[in-house]
Amino acid sequence: MANTLLMPKATAVWLVDNTALSFEQIAHFCSLHPLEVKAIADGESAQGIKGLDPVITGQLSRDEIAKGETDGNYRLKLSEPKVRVPESKRKGPRYTPLSKRQDRPNAILWLVRNHAELKDAQISRLVGTTKSTIEQIRERTHWNSANLVPMDPVTLGLCSQIDLDLEVQRASRGRDQAQPTGDTLLPASLTERLEPQNGKPAKEDSDELDAAAVFAKLSALKSKDGDDNEE
């Protein structure tokens, strides 16, 4: 798990109320803009947010705060976590940032059209949506269906190409291969007995006919010889 600050805005509220750190120092530590920190100090922003003590959470030490208060140019540093928590595997739909959520219907439409083998649960994992939304887009009952444009979710940044390929591979596993359509070549066992286009019999049939003619002639000769002997 990356060593990142938890709840930066709530931490900024606490630092503004309980320390003599400058707005720039708090902004740098909390990854905020100095004007946003100033707005917090003026009560214009973060109203209703309860301050979070970074010392209690183990993300900042008292010594670091003291150094920052003494030197206005000092930049606070996060404390090293005492316990390393293994990163858990993601379960459920993928989280989608607010700025990209409006693109999800277009991505769903693209997946439905280009990868019909994907199940609703797989689409939900890829773009972070609900099955009801997928069903509405499939059935063209979505409230904005007329304005939807199919767009690749990888291009939109909603999922990675690796994740998409993996889900497509899983969906295709165990499916019957598509049967060839249109004219196909006939087996050799059938084509050998077909007559050519010029109407002449095939060689095998011709051989059979010639053999029959030979036997017929032999039979006729035997019959003639028998008649001569009787005479």
Do residue 52 and residue 115 come from a single domain?
no
The answer to whether the CB of 12 falls within 8 A of the CB of 26 is yes
- Give the per-residue pLDDT at 1: 41
Section 125-148 average pLDDT? 89
Q: Is the pLDDT of residue 86 over 60?
A: no
Residue 115 belongs to a domain: yes
Q: Residue 9: which of 26, 125, 112 has the closest Cα? A: 26
pLDDT of res. 111: 92
Please tell me whether residues 114 and 49 are part of one structural domain.
no
Whether residue 177 is predicted with pLDDT greater than 70 in this model: the reply is: no
- Please tell me whether residues 117 and 166 are part of one structural domain: yes
Q: Would residue 36 count as lying in a domain?
A: yes
In a domain? residue 155 = yes
Q: Where are the alpha helices (DSSP H) in 71-160?
A: 104-114, 120-127, 131-138, 153-156
Q: Is residue 205 part of a domain?
A: no
The span from the CA of 37 to the CA of 41, in Å, is: 6
Residue 1 domain flag: no
The residue-averaged pLDDT of 45-69 equals 88
Cα separations (Å) of 15 from 51, 56, 164? 8, 13, 43
Q: How far is CA 4 from CA 40, 77, 174, 219, in A?
A: 21, 11, 43, 105
Q: Quickly list H helices, 52-101.
A: 62-70
Q: Using an 8 Å Cβ cutoff, are 58 and 9 in contact?
A: no
Q: Give the residue from 172, 191, 219 where a domain finishes.
A: 172
Helices (H) and strands (E) in the chain, counts: 11, 0
Boundary of a domain, candidates 131, 150, 172: 172
Interior CA angle at 172 toward 119 and 187, to 5°?
140
d(CA 140, CA 109): 10
- Whether the pLDDT of residue 200 is over 90: the answer is no
- Domain span holding position 116: 98-172
Judge whether residue 49 has pLDDT over 90: no
Q: Which of 21, 98, 35 is nearest to 11 (CA)?
A: 21
CA–CA gap between residue 216 and residue 212 (Å, rounded) = 6
Q: What single DSSP character describes residue 199?
A: S
pLDDT more than 70, % of the chain: 65
∠205-206-208 over CA atoms, to 5°?
65
Number of domains in the chain: 2
Is residue 78 within 8 Å of 64, Cβ to Cβ? no
Per-residue pLDDT at 63 exceeds 70: yes
pLDDT band at 11 (very low <50, low <70, confident <90, very high): very high
